[in-house]
């Protein structure tokens, strides 16, 4: 749902979204899919109750967040 906020009509709204969000849309979409996959895995792993596996998967999710911000979000 949050991705709806990145519609082309919002391009000129002041935000931390870099222009690549609107030009490299395939890669931006890929980042969204990757995030969804890793979060789905996190849910599955958390049901296993294996704490170390859960921690490792949280880091995997975090990597996807950072990976996308690296390319698509203005440096803070
Ligand atoms: C597919 C790309 C992508 C992924 C994956 C992604 N983000 Fe972002 N995120 C962005 C972009 C682009 C912005 C800048 C948007 C803006 O300033 O309006 C942003 C902004 C943010 C902000 C600042 C929001 C604000 O109002 O200033 C936070 C917090 C954030 N992301 C957290 C996360 C977390 C946590 C994850 C992983 C669970 C994540 N993001 C995954 C693209 C992504």
Under 8 Å between Cβ of 20 and 71:
yes
pLDDT in tens, 12-70: 999 999 999 999 999 999 999 999 999 999 999 999 999 999 999 999 999 999 999 99
Q: How far apart are CA 27 and CA 14, in angstroms?
A: 22
Residue 1 confidence (pLDDT): 72
64 C-beta closer than 6 A to ligand 1: yes
The answer to whether the CB of 65 is under 6 A from ligand 1 is: yes
Atom of ligand 1 nearest to the CA of 34: 5
pTM of the model: 0.93
């Amino acid at each position: 749902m949050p991705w709806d906020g990145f519609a082309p009509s919002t391009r000129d709204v002041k935000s931390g979204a870099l222009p690549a969000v609107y030009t490299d849309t395939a890669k931006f979409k890929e980042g969204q899919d990757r995030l969804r996959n890793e979060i789905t895995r996190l849910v599955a792993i958390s049901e296993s109750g294996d704490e170390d596996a859960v921690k490792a998967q949280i880091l995997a999710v975090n990597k996807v967040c950072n990976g996308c911000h690296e390319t698509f979000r203005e440096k803070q």
